Structure 1
């Protein structure tokens, strides 16, 4: 019976962390698309590959950091705090790339795929570094 109770507790924790992760992911997508000067989702729907690369990289980068937060957190509150930090890091990454490539927003809107790849790759790199930094 004790093994069954342990399994139920594990499933409960899984459901809580997974559910919160999905909420965080949706919140990230919403906030990220608010801070960028273009509507990635509309661009992606119009088959803009550069926007798809950039947005996909940002979502993957955030998810990597979010996964690390879930793995290393000691409580739900701890997880939520690190999820917010990961979200901020991804948004900062966008602005850092924009400092070095001031026309990146226009280039993505113009469907210049290399610009989308660079922004997506930087977002993934930030996510990996963020995830590695979340260990205690």
Structure 2
């Protein structure tokens, strides 16, 4: 009975490992694209940066979860993971168009700026995840 339950372990660990790798790569790229270092600001106890970064993280992971459920292969899953990352990057740049001094505000701990970016990233992730249910 236990062996029957463990038959899905290899696919599970494959998808989970790829999801984790995609997430780490996305966070690395995102932190290089933004003009400030999220990791440094979060370590310095900047709630605006933490809020924005957490919203972006969740906004990326939601469509990754949806892609994992709907993917027909690991390649398919990876492709949709890349698309999820691109959508988050587009969201960051669109919010910067709306709020040109976004980066400065987050660095200066303007919580409303961090909340807005985090909320926009989360909203993008929810829409992205819903659209991936093909």
Q: Pick from 28, 40, 50: which aligns with 1:52?
A: 50
Return the offset for 1:8.
3.1
| Count of aligned residue pairs for this structure pair | 134
Q: Pick from 94, 104, 107: which aligns with 2:105?
A: 107
The one-character-per-residue Cα deviations of 1:16-67 (angstroms, maximum 9, x if unpaired) are 1111111111001100001001001101111111000000000000000100
TM-score normalized with structure 2 length: 0.96
The one-character-per-residue Cα deviations of 1:76-120 (angstroms, maximum 9, x if unpaired) are 000000000000000110000000000111000000000000000
Q: Which runs of 4+ in 1 moved over 6 A?
A: none
Q: Which residue of 1 aligns with 2:128?
A: 130
Q: Which residue of 1 aligns with 2:82?
A: 84
- In 1: Cα distance, 2:77 partner to 2:94 partner: 25
- In 2: Cα distance, 1:43 partner to 1:104 partner: 14
Q: Which residue of 1 aligns with 2:26?
A: 28
- In 1: Cα distance, 2:106 partner to 2:71 partner: 36
- In 2: Cα distance, 1:11 partner to 1:67 partner: 17
1:62-81 matched pairs, under 5 angstroms: 62-81=60-79
- In 2: Cα distance, 1:70 partner to 1:90 partner: 18
Which ranges of structure 1 fall in alignment gaps of 5 or more residues?
A: none
Q: Pick from 27, 39, 42: which aligns with 2:40?
A: 42
Q: Pick from 93, 116, 119: which aligns with 2:117?
A: 119
- In 2: Cα distance, 1:35 partner to 1:29 partner: 10
